[in-house]
Structure 1
Amino acid sequence: MSTAQHFPLSDSQVALIARALADSRRYRILVQIGASDQALPCAEVLKEHPISAATVSHHTKELERAGLILTLREGKYASFMIQREVLHAYARQLMQI
């Protein structure tokens, strides 16, 4: 785990994460990405969720905006990696309430 996220997240980042995780589909996409031990191709997300590519793009952009995933692009293809250190920092911050 990186030590970079051991400091508290800003209130705005906590709010972005909470908003991103409040959507059940977005949460399920994050769980799927987190279950992979390597970058998960967008095509795998589409196989699991019967939604359009544009909808997957919207949800993954929200997760990326919140700092929960990293999008890796190779040409026209995208893969996603969970940012566990951000998720752990968020959980630690919630535990302090």
Structure 2
Amino acid sequence: MSTAHLLSLTDQQVALISRALADHRRYQILLQISASTEAVPCAELLKAHPVSAATVSHHTKELERAGLITTLREGKYASFMMQRDVLRAYAQQLTQFC
């Protein structure tokens, strides 16, 4: 894969992603979303994680704020898509330390 197409993240974006991924529950939610090529409905996240809807909402908002997912809304329903290009850019920037 060519690195010419990777996004360039700011230090603030890298910090937001690091903070988002540091939480075990958010990491697990991101894994679930990333396992699908389709948008993952919030109801599927609620089935897989034994926490309240408000807690899932908080975690997905943090993942969205970090740029790792996008929220798709249809009325009162939400689904989530992984932003793989952002995660690739983050991983690429971390490899600069090696």
Normalization by structure 1: what TM-score? 0.94
CA-atom RMSD, angstroms? 1.7
CA distance, structure 2, for counterparts of residue 9 and residue 27 of structure 1: 20
Gaps of 5+ in 2: none
What secondary structure, in the 3-state scheme, does the structure 1 residue paired with 2:8 have? coil
CA distance, structure 1, for counterparts of residue 71 and residue 8 of structure 2: 24
- How many percent identity over aligned positions? 75
Residue 97 (structure 2) pairs with residue 87 (structure 1): no
Match of 2:16 in 1: 16
Match of 1:55 in 2: 55
| 8 Å Cα contact 1:5/1:86 also seen in 2 | no
Normalization by structure 2: what TM-score? 0.93
Tell me how far 1:6 sits from its aligned partner: 1.7
CA distance, structure 1, for counterparts of residue 45 and residue 27 of structure 2: 12
Tell me how far 1:7 sits from its aligned partner: 3.9
Count of matched residue pairs: 96
Superposed counterparts of 1:35-54, under 5 Å: 35-54=35-54
Gaps of 5+ in 1: none
Q: Which runs of 4+ in 1 moved over 3 A?
A: none
